[in-house]
Chains A and B, each alone.
Chain A
Amino acid sequence: MPSLTVFLDASVILAGMASPQGGSGFLLQAAKQKKIILIATPLIINEVNRHLTKLKLQSKQLKTLLNDQVIRLVKDPDETTITRCRRLTADPDDAHVLAGAILANANFLLSLDKKHVLTKRVKKHLLPIRIFSPKQFWQALKSF
């Protein structure tokens, strides 16, 4: 049973689906092999779904990831937790991502959003959840 629980931002899911040989793509690969647990909320999946066409991807590819439990769903965060997270990020629309990772008790939150999620402030306040880009995650995993 894999012990690493990784919460994914929409950016990582989109990149992973579009580019299997990128840092995000290898996350999906590792989850398919049941080496790590990938999680996201319905709200994040909805964001991914709305942007699939920009990458010439189809909804059925996303459905397969969910049906095969490559990405597992956890509940959307409650408004109280989202509100608490709004002060941490420059764009309050990103707060649900931070709240989702907190409520899911994830070990890691992975995102490609340098401007709003991969910031010192967010990293500091979300400890012990570690916040990385997929590339940084693989780098960090080497030392485990």
Chain B
Amino acid sequence: MTLNTISTKQLRENFDWVLTAMANNQPLTLLYRSKPLAEIKPLPQAKTLGRSFSQAQINQWLKADRLTKKQQQQINALINRLP
């Protein structure tokens, strides 16, 4: 498997790269001052169990999903019109 590298700056600013690499079972060599410092690799037993959502995230969804009375009436009417 090819070893890709990531700098400490990239690690801080683009953590998504690490997530993507781990999800693809791709180890990364961490560089500090252009020299290899450590290897980041996915745990062998890591298994996809799905995402975890925080309470704040869920609350945000509920807020974004709210409807006014008028919108509720319009959607009710729309549902009734659907074949």
- What is the total of A-B residue contacts with beta carbons within 8 Å? 105
CB A88 to nearest CB in B, in angstroms, measures 11
Q: Which of B15-67 contact A (CB under 8 A)?
A: 16, 19-20, 23-24, 48-53, 55, 58, 60-62, 64-67
A15 pairs with B61, CB closer than 8 A: yes
CA distance A25 to B54 in the complex (A): 21
In the complex, chain A residues whose CB is within 8 Å of the CB of B23: 86, 92-93, 95
Contact residue among A21, A86, A94, A133 (Cβ-Cβ distance under 8 Å from B72): A21
CA distance A24 to B63 in the complex (A): 11
Q: Which of A104-135 contact B (CB under 8 A)?
A: 112-114, 133-135
CB A111 to nearest CB in B, in angstroms, measures 9
How many residues of B are in contact with the other chain, CB < 8 A? 29
In the complex, chain B residues whose CB is within 8 Å of the CB of A86: 20, 23-24
Known: A43-B50, A44-B50. 18 other contacts (CB 8 A): A3-B83, A14-B58, A14-B61, A15-B65, A19-B65, A21-B67, A22-B65, A23-B66, A23-B75, A30-B79, A46-B50, A51-B58, A86-B20, A86-B23, A91-B51, A93-B51, A96-B48, A96-B50
Binding site for B on A (CB under 8 A): 2-4, 10-12, 14-15, 18-19, 21-26, 29-30, 33, 35-36, 43-44, 46-47, 50-51, 54-55, 83, 86-87, 90-96, 112-114, 133-135, 138, 141-142
Binding site for A on B (CB under 8 A): 16, 19-20, 23-24, 48-53, 55, 58, 60-62, 64-67, 71-72, 74-76, 78-79, 82-83
